[in-house]
Amino acid sequence: MDLKSLWKGRVDSATERTHFRYHQVVEEGSEEGTDLSLIGFASDEGVRRNQGRPGAADAPDALRTALAGLPWHGGDHSLADYGNVVCEEGRLEEAQDALAEQVAAAYGRNSKAVILGGGHETLYGHYLGARLHLGPEAKLGIINIDAHFDLRPYDGETSSGTMFRQILDEDQKAGYFVLGIQRFGNTRSLFEAASKFDVEYMPEEAVRTADAAAITRRLHSFIDRHDAVIMTLCMDVLDAAAAPGVSAPSPFGLDPVTVRSIIRAACSHPDVRSFDISEVNPALDEGGRTVRLGAALTNEAILALLGKAPEA
């Protein structure tokens, strides 16, 4: 689809930037520098391999459409859209490598990056791009907001449930912190794997009962132990009432305000370089609620990465 057909909406003023919405700010991606790069990853092959419900491949364009009409609060910062990396004919690993090149190129332009997934296999390509740019010696942290560890074995093939085990198996300089883990959404073997790999995690119950300041302290403590950090949001971490359009809905998921707070706290830290949103499934959505919420949370990540997060 032509990207220009997605970036459209209401115009309150054609000249006054304080009246602008996203569709009036976003530019077509180029080799020139931009403050923030948007990259789509149109894939749900990893979800299919993980025996989930497909449909997330349509999310990048749906999220663009929902973002287009939101008011722009990023001031004079520039925003460019670099289109979609598309997973074709089940060639997931090839698509993840292509996404890695796009992410590394964004870093090379000194740009923060936001990746619009896709199934959660998006994260592996995101990670590969960060590692490609940073080199093998940098301590790279990954913050995941998710109901699941995604630490499954991958003896047969990789999927949307194996990414973190792939990373931790092969990268001794990577650290992993996940918030929102559902105790009954993960087998005992996955908790054992988390212990084996020294994964830091906060169960859903702990996130609910902790105050925002305590969560921020844990996030910043993790970030400060790494040279650079990337962040990923799996939308199935949210309560199914707020986000029904995901592959694996969570009846005891987190509320949107809590997830927004986590995104703001993490992405506002200068060492967080990029963010991805995954597992929005427009085909399963009810009234577009999940797409709209996904766009709103992406907006929060964009503003925080640009240093424009609202003060608490």
- Residue ranges per structural domain of the chain: 3-138+229-305
pLDDT in the model for residue 310: 87
- Separation of alpha carbons 76 and 60, rounded Å: 25
Distances (CA, A) of 143 to 169, 190, 265, 291: 17, 18, 12, 22
Which residue, chain included where needed, has tokens 């109901």? 147
To which CATH superfamily is domain 3-138+229-305 assigned? Answer: Ureohydrolase domain (3.40.800.10)
Distances (CA, A) of 291 to 5, 39, 114, 238, 305: 18, 17, 16, 13, 21
pLDDT in the model for residue 2: 79
* DSSP tag of 236: G
pLDDT in the model for residue 312: 58
- Separation of alpha carbons 284 and 282, rounded Å: 5
Residue 78, CA atoms < 13 Å, CB-side half-sphere: 12
- Separation of alpha carbons 303 and 300, rounded Å: 5
pLDDT one digit per residue (tens) for the chain, 312 residues: 578 899 999 999 999 999 999 999 999 998 888 999 999 999 999 999 999 999 999 999 999 999 999 999 999 999 999 999 999 999 999 999 999 999 999 999 999 999 999 999 999 999 999 999 999 999 999 999 999 999 999 988 999 999 999 999 999 999 999 999 999 999 999 999 999 999 999 999 999 999 999 999 999 999 999 999 999 999 999 999 999 999 999 889 999 999 999 999 999 999 999 999 999 999 999 999 999 999 999 999 999 999 999 875
Distances (CA, A) of 240 to 8, 145, 258: 29, 15, 14
